[in-house]
Amino acid sequence: MIRYRKEVDRIAPYVPGKLIDAVKKEYGITDVVKLASNENPLGMGSAAADAIKAHMDHVHLYPDGSCAVLREKLAWNLGVASDWIIVGNGSDEILKMIAEVYLTEADAVIIAESTFSQYRFAADLMGAETRFVPLIDYRHDLEGMARQIDSKTKIVFICNPNNPTGTIVSHAELEQFLNQVPEHVLVVVDEAYYEYVTSQLYPQAVKLMEYYPNMMITRTFSKVYGLAGLRIGYGIANPEIIKALERVKEPFNVNQFAQAAACASLDDQEHLRKSIEVNEQGKEYLYQQFELLKLKAIPTETNFILVDLQRDGKQVSQQLLTKGVIVRPTDSFALPNCIRVTIGTMEQNRRFIQALGEVLYADRY
Ligand SMILES: Cc1ncc(COP(=O)(O)O)c(C=O)c1O
């Protein structure tokens, strides 16, 4: 047998949300609702769909490896130069590139205990140590994270808003944290759900980057833009960091459909507006229903809600599957009594609530 690197041994394979077709087959249900991966229930906008169709004839050509047009567009929107931007095959790929560039087994990263899994994956891949800092009241404990920083620390990942809790750190909190971070530590702020945030306290992270050269931001087209299946996200950082990341980037990492659809999506303000509106309506409905069901929902700044069921969330998720509703159990996030549900269309939200009521109060139905 060929021996693989010892680091690989430590990596637990990613467990994605269950696939709709798999659930249909397993449970013999024709109408399955997936609210497990924080996708946009409206799908992509029509401008993105048109852009994809327009690229059908170019499939035999390699895509632009530098994503020049998209980077220009993003740079214009963000008020930075285009050499501050790198585009990836999903923001997952950017996280991996960051690890490949900066981490060795002599380094440590600091993350929240209950947060997105790919920061730990990136650290594990490079053999780096991961230090976990428990959330306080479902929010990042930035003071606790700052206390963990030492000479070994290379990266701090802050998921803002946080997956799976939907909570944010504020501009003031982030700034105060950055003031405590030494220059040798990179602070990565993951803003995958940026567009959904409504809080006035949310950081203007791009502005902060002007003062903190050891900070970078990642964002994605997978969530509000509805392009998860195409895989496209981006990183924003000063050119020194971007140049380093480009060294490990695959030559043609982002396919041309993804680039074209992302460009078109940025111009499609109507789809963005509609997606956010549907999310806000769904959020209010779900808050009300959770209250009626006497469940504690954590107020969210995203397109998903963490709900404390005060019982085994994995078991409830399993029972929901039998009713054709896929949600995310959060035991892997160290929150075994919760589930995370994506806010869907009103029809999907109603279906979920109906199923949840049946599961939780089986004796009354
Ligand atoms: C916080 C966070 N960051 C990054 C990602 C990955 O996004 P992408 O599809 O761009 O790789 C996700 C996806 O669920 C996420 O929740």
**CATH of residue 350:** 3.90.1150.10
* Per-residue pLDDT reduced to its tens digit, 338-356: 999 999 999 999 999 999 9
pLDDT at 364: 58
Residue 59 lies in a domain: yes
User: 343 C-alpha vs ligand 1 centroid, how far in Å?
Assistant: 16
Are residues 52 and 170 located together in one domain of the fold? yes
Per-residue pLDDT at 365 exceeds 60: no
Higher pLDDT, 7 or 96: 96
Average pLDDT value for residue range 205-233: 97
Over 80: is that where the pLDDT of 15 sits? Answer: no
Query: Quick check: is 296 in a domain?
Result: yes
At 363 the pLDDT is: 59
* pLDDT tops 70 at residue 130: yes
Predicted TM-score (pTM) of this structure: 0.97
Distance 220 CA to ligand 1 centre (A): 7
- Nearest alpha carbon, ligand 1 atom 16: 163
CB 203, CB 171: distance < 8 Å: yes
Ligand 1 atom nearest 91 alpha carbon:
10
Average pLDDT, whole number, for the chain? 96
Is the pLDDT assigned to residue 213 strictly greater than 90? yes
Q: Is 233 in the pocket of ligand 1 (CB under 6 A)?
A: yes
**51, amino acid identity:** A
- Residue to mutate (ligand 1; options 38, 118, 189; most atoms within 8 A of CB): 118
Q: Give φ, ψ of 259 to 5 degrees.
A: -65, -45
Residue 1, in any domain of the structure = no
Residue identified by tokens 């109408």 is: 31
Quick check: CB of 190 below 6 Å from ligand 1? Answer: yes
In this structure, the answer to whether residues 21 and 60 fall within a common structural domain is no
Query: Do 108 and 215 have their domain in common?
Result: yes
On whether both 111 and 202 belong to a single domain, the answer is: yes
Q: Kindly list the distances between the CA atom of residue 44 and the CA atoms of 21, 51, 107, 190, in Å, as whole numbers in the listed order.
A: 20, 11, 40, 22
Any atom of ligand 1 within 6 Å of the Cβ of 173: no
| Of 267, 286, 315, the domain-final residue | 267
- pLDDT, tens digit (0-9, with 9 covering 90-100), for 50-109: 999 999 999 999 999 999 999 999 999 999 999 999 999 999 999 999 999 999 999 999
Query: 91 alpha carbon to ligand 1 midpoint, in Å?
Result: 6
The token duo for 246 is 């480009």
% of the chain exceeding 90 in pLDDT: 91
24/74 same-domain check: no
Determine the pLDDT at residue 10: 84
Check whether 11 has a pLDDT greater than 80: yes
Residue pair 87/254 in contact (Cβ under 8 Å)? The answer is yes
Task: Please state, in angstroms and rounded to a whole number, the distance separating the CA atoms of residues 270 and 276.
Answer: 10
- The pLDDT, as a whole number, for residue 90 is 98
Residues 50 and 38 in one domain: no
Range of the domain at 139: 46-267
The reply to whether 209 and 119 lie within a common domain is yes
Residues composing the chain? 365
pLDDT in tens, 141-181: 999 999 999 999 999 999 999 999 999 999 999 999 999 99
State residue 247's pLDDT score.
Answer: 98
The Cβ of residue 144 has, within 10 Å, a number of other Cβ atoms equal to 15
State whether the beta carbon of 91 lies less than 6 angstroms from ligand 1: yes
Q: Is the CB of 38 under 6 A from ligand 1?
A: yes
Instruction: State the pairing for strand pair 233-236/215-220.
Output: antiparallel
CA of 361 to the centre of ligand 1 (A): 33
Residue 349: per-residue pLDDT = 98
Q: Does residue 192 line the site of ligand 1, with CB under 6 A?
A: yes
Residues 211, 348, single domain; the answer is no
pLDDT over 90 (residue 336): yes
Per-residue confidence (pLDDT) for residue 290, from 0 to 100: 98
Report helix, strand or coil for 269: helix
Torsion 253-156-124-307 (CA) sign: negative
* CATH at 103: 3.40.640.10
Cα(249) to centroid of ligand 1, in Å? Answer: 18
Answer yes or no: is 277 within a domain.
yes
The tens digit of pLDDT for each residue in 275-325 reads: 999 999 999 999 999 999 999 999 999 999 999 999 999 999 999 999 999
